Amino acid sequence: QKEVEQNSGPLSVPEGAIASLNCTYSDRGSQSFFWYRQYSGKSPELIMSIYSNGDKEDGRFTAQLNKASQYVSLLIRDSQPSDSATYLCAVGTSGAGSYQLTFGKGTKLSVIP
Amino acid sequence: NAGVMQNPRHLVRRRGQEARLRCSPMKGHSHVYWYRQLPEEGLKFMVYLQKENIIDESGMPKERFSAEFPKEGPSILRIQQVVRGDSAAYFCASSPNPPASKETQYFGPGTRLLVL
| Residue B67 neighbours by CB under 8 Å, 6+ apart | B34, B46, B47, B49, B54, B57, B60, B75, B76, B77, B78
Residue numbers in B near A46 (CB within 8 A) = 104, 106
Q: What are phi and psi of B86, to 5 degrees?
A: -80, -10
Residue B83 or B100, more confident = B83
Region A61-90: mean pLDDT is 96
Reduced to 3 states (helix: H, G, I; strand: E, B; else coil), residue B91 is strand
Confidence of residue B99 (pLDDT cuts 50, 70, 90): low
B89: pLDDT strictly greater than 60: yes
Q: Which of B35, B45, B101 sits opposite A32 (nearest CB)?
A: B101
Give the torsion sign (CA, A85, A9, B10, B95): positive
pLDDT digits 0-9 by tens, B11-62 = 999 999 999 999 999 988 889 999 999 987 889 999 999 988 999 999 999 9
| Residue A83 neighbours by CB under 8 Å, 6+ apart | A19, A37, A76, A109, A111
Question: Do the Cβ atoms of B93 and B5 come closer than 8 Å?
Answer: no
The Cβ of residue B13 has, within 10 Å, a number of other Cβ atoms equal to 18
Give the rounded percent of residues in chain A with a pLDDT score beyond 70: 100
Quick one: which of A94, A107, A6, A104 has its CA closest to A51? A94
Yes or no, beta carbons of A46 and B104 under 8 Å apart: yes
Quick one: which of B25, B37, B96, B105 has its CA closest to A32? B105
Region A34-39: mean pLDDT is 95
Residue A1 or A86, more confident = A86
Yes or no, beta carbons of B56 and A100 under 8 Å apart: yes
Yes or no, beta carbons of A51 and B101 under 8 Å apart: yes
A64: pLDDT strictly greater than 80: yes
Give residue B36's pLDDT: 97
